[in-house]
A and B are shown apart, each in its own frame.
Chain A
Amino acid sequence: MSEPPLLEFANLCVSYGGRRIVDEVSFTLARGETAALVGASGSGKSQTALAALRLLPPQVRTSGRVAFEGEDLLSLPERRLNAIRGRRVAMIFQEPMSALDPLFTVGSQIAAVLRLQAGFSRGQALTRAAELLDLVGIDAPKERLSAFPHQLSGGQRQRVSIAMAIACEPDALIADEPTTALDVTVAARILDLLGELRARLGLAMIFISHDLQLVRRLASRVYVMDAGRIVEAGATEAVFCNPQHSATQGLIVAAPSPRARRPDPAPEILRAENLSVAYRRRGGWFAGRSEVKVLDAVTLSLKRGRTLGVVGESGAGKSTLGRAILRLVPASGAICFEGRDIGGLDETGMRPLRRAMQMVFQDPYGALSPRMRIGDIVSEGLLIHEPALSRRARDGRAAQALEEVSIDPARRDRRPREFSGGQRQRIAIARAMILRPRLVVLDEPTSALDRATQMDILRLLRDLQEAHGLAYVLISHDLKTIEAMADDIAVMKNGCIVEQGPAAQILGSPRDPYTRSLMQAAFDTHGGRQDFSSRRC
């Protein structure tokens, strides 16, 4: 402990206009140590990291001190700062697509870093770039050098940006939610990679995440942030086992207990057989027809009042399945809703049925029209299906629907931007529920939300299901969400269902290797499924 800290934050404040985003943040990072900054979105954790490297927009005011080996990064002249930034302290960002320039090959982007920061020659830089790609676990690194970012998968892109970050062998690495945009199985592998690199290169690391359980494997110390302040700090296990602050407790709320198995006799509400969706690849008028199958002969069935969980990685065709069931995308195959084949109905024929089948979308920011009042958003379905209703009556029903999802009905003349993500998702749910549907497709309803908010939404969805006897098709990449909600589970990969059955059976004894890898990724990174409760201490 006699060694001076590598990176020292002292009373760092960041303010936009008059509002403080980061408030008196102080902590130190020793050489080779991994610390985690954890907090809900908007708690100021990313701003802290960006402020340290002076990457914030110019109108932002920062004060305090961020010392790297005793030099204050906040007051260094630009030239000195650039010698440290990227070379000694590197950063990885959340979104692997936007962190890479789409117009250049990954090889030239890594080489550019090496030539600029470490003075490599062109040939040397390319050789080193291939070594780095190998180091971050990209197979056939030499060939990948000439690949463009869009030719790589999300996980590979994140590996490339890690390779760029460690290109100059930095002493410290700041990882800003490096796995949030990735699928669970990929995220697990990226976390493994980071752990391995840390051991191999002796990196000190600041790991920023909203997920306390995620950082548990990696970090030795945890700093929990809330509203710009560090509210709790300590060794990871200590914080994890004995959370003091309410913000910390909010971050490690347990998932609702798995759904109890319910007796079977319930009538079937939905049945899909050989459901297929194919997109024609664009190739101009004279190009031959070529089709991409997004959904390939999917067969499933759902009983009244039950939940079917559809799980799989992004690109597996889950969302397409959800939209195909509601006939929002053209699909072939049979869809029986309440015993009636709706596969052949046109838009007019579907309209009366639409009120019985509704959908809730993933992105609460994109699912509400920004120029409409939330009262109008919620009551739009009434306008279509009960046109005889007077304006006042519609308004009253909208207020009721909002109340049911715990949104203050007095705020129904506000616009969506005045609501937080969780509130918006509640509004979207109210819009679906106002028509009293019997089937609701939930397309990743919680994945854009904070952990604590996720649990609230799941609880709300369960309450609504119980109250109105709704059948859910719940689409998620998060097995925990599925576990909390589903009676039956269908596992999807590449447009096909690879395994399907009652939830307990799938989660208890998965047969398909793909399901097993999903299970491992989901529950291992989160501290293990079986010992989850016991390790809470």
Chain B
Amino acid sequence: MSRFILLSPARAALWRRIPASAMLLVLIALACIFGPLFTSHPFDRVYPDYVLAPPSLEPSPNASEARDAVEELAARLGAKIVSMDSTGDSVAAKFSSDRTIDAAALAALPRSDRIGPPRINSSGDGGQNVGLNIPLLRTVFPFGADANGRDLLTRTLIAGRVSLAVGLLASLVALVIGVLYGAIAGYAGGAVDALMMRIVEIIYALPFIFFVIVLVMVFGRHFVLIFIAIGAVEWLDMARIARGQTLALKEKDYVAAARALGASPAAIIRRHILPNASGPIIAYLTLLLPRVILLESFISFLGLGVQEPLASWGVLIADGARNIQGALHLLFFPALFLGATLGALQSFGQYLQAIFADAHVGLESEPR
């Protein structure tokens, strides 16, 4: 009959709610991990011609941009354009000049992200009139390009890797340290508990940013420092939660029964306390993840975190904020990813909390 209680309407509604948040999370994670393989731009490749290019699904360059590029080429050669005819992937153009148009110079000069090295189709007047076939470099910037002309889509996905990795790893660090510390303090009780929790409070009192700055000063900027800094702060809350749970659980009769059986404190914590405390702890973990991601973003926003050309969502958002007047898309897309991830995590965390709250209340009713 407990099956029945499991499927109360509230619970059924919960089941329908997981896919939305959990699937979104999985989708974002998969996109961040595998997406950069398919975007055709390396995340650190600079396209000087596409600085602050707006987001578009149309391939660049378009017809007028292609013309601009050809005109620029002609100007550099000191040549005049006699005719220009754009055909899909390439431009057929005729240049005329007072001097001979050197094939080597032609190949070297373009230096453009829009056109490739021209091929000479026909040559007349001793190289003063040439017919050129200029290939267009077709690329797509779905999210546009940043102030350095880098593809924002690739960068957003690469930044997602960093943000999610920091979030996961720092949360795990906080989980392991915090749960062990809290469970030991709570189970030991008395003076040990008091001492351990005072230590937690002392670390709490350290200003976080001050702590990060000191770390950076001493060890220099390093990716790993972010984990250490965030993990060192976030386990405190986890320790408090684990301790609170332990305090409540150690009064339970099944813990007394285990003591009567002669189980050692370590065995009691492992077998009885941690499994039963896992509900609130996992729920808190899913709420911790977004906080850690936000913290990392904050550190990176201040310029103390991930270094160029690598990026995290925080770095990208800081970038976007600087360009908010000219190029809103620089802020919009990373913020969208960050927001979606945080929202999904939050909703997933609440879902887990509800599940565990249910498991504690609903399942206690007596089966018949």
Q: Give me the interface of A with B, judged by CB distance under 8 Å.
A: 16-17, 19, 41-42, 59, 323, 326, 328, 350-352, 354-355, 357-359, 361-363, 365-372, 377, 380-381, 384-385, 417-421, 428, 431, 435
Contact = CB atoms under 8 A, between A and B. Distances in A.
A354 B261 contact: yes
Contacts of A372: 271-272, 275
B262 A355 contact: yes
A371 B260 contact: no
A42 B367 CA distance: 9
B276 interface: yes
Contacts of A365: 364
Given A328-B260, A419-B367, A431-B257, 13 more contacts: A17-B8, A19-B1, A355-B262, A358-B260, A359-B260, A361-B257, A366-B253, A368-B254, A369-B275, A377-B254, A384-B261, A385-B261, A420-B368
Given A369-B272, A372-B271, A372-B275, A428 B257 contact: yes
A359 B271 contact: no
B363 interface: yes
Nearest to B12: A17
B261 A367 contact: no
A358 B257 CA distance: 8
Contacts of B272: 369, 372
A17 B4 contact: yes
Task: Report the 10 A-B pairs with minimum CB-CB distance, sorted nearest first.
Answer: A354-B262, A367-B253, A361-B253, A371-B275, A351-B262, A366-B253, A369-B254, A381-B261, A359-B260, A417-B363
Contacts, number: 88
B195 interface: no
A366 B367 contact: no
B275 A417 contact: no
Contact of B262 (A42, A323, A350, A370): A350
Given A328-B260, A384-B263, A417-B363, A59 B9 contact: yes
Contacts of A435: 261
Given A354-B262, A369-B272, A420 B257 contact: no
Contacts of B8: 16-17, 59
Nearest to B272: A369
Nearest to A351: B262
A282 B256 CA distance: 22
Contact of B257 (A19, A351, A359, A419): A359
16 contacts: A16-B8, A17-B4, A19-B1, A42-B368, A358-B260, A359-B257, A361-B257, A362-B253, A365-B364, A369-B272, A370-B359, A370-B363, A371-B275, A372-B272, A381-B262, A420-B367
B222 interface: no
A231 B279 CA distance: 42
A59 B10 CA distance: 9
Contacts of B367: 417-420
B7 interface: yes
B259 interface: yes
A125 to B, nearest CB: 36
A25 B78 CA distance: 103
Contact of B267 (A59, A357, A384, A418): A384
B366 A370 contact: no
Contacts of B256: 323, 328, 359, 361
B99 interface: no
A359 B275 CA distance: 23
A372 B258 CA distance: 13
Contacts of A366: 252-254
B40 to A, nearest CB: 49
B2 interface: yes
Contact of A17 (B9, B263, B275): B9
A362 B257 CA distance: 11
A3 B205 CA distance: 75
A335 B40 CA distance: 80
Contacts of B261: 354-355, 358, 380-381, 384-385, 431, 435
B302 to A, nearest CB: 41
Contacts of A384: 261-263, 267
Nearest to A419: B367
A61 to B, nearest CB: 11
Contacts of B258: 380
A59 B252 CA distance: 32
Nearest to A355: B262
Nearest to B194: A285
B257 A354 contact: no
B366 A42 contact: yes
A428 B258 CA distance: 11
Contacts of B262: 350-352, 354-355, 381, 384-385
A370 B1 CA distance: 16
A365 B257 CA distance: 13
Given A354-B260, A380-B271, A428-B257, A417 B4 contact: no
B229 to A, nearest CB: 34
A357 to B, nearest CB: 8
A367 B275 contact: no
Contact of B366 (A16, A41, A361, A385): A41
A463 to B, nearest CB: 22
B360 to A, nearest CB: 8
Interface in B139-186: none
Interface in B262-292: 262-263, 267, 271-272, 275-276, 278
Nearest to A435: B261
A368 B9 CA distance: 28
A428 B276 CA distance: 18
B20 to A, nearest CB: 23
Contacts of B4: 17, 19
B287 to A, nearest CB: 22
A350 B366 CA distance: 36
A372 B263 CA distance: 15
Nearest to B279: A371
Interface string B218-261: 00000000000000000000000000000000001110111111
Nearest to A363: B253
Contacts of A377: 254
A385 B275 CA distance: 22
Nearest to B276: A371
Interface in B1-19: 1-2, 4, 7-10
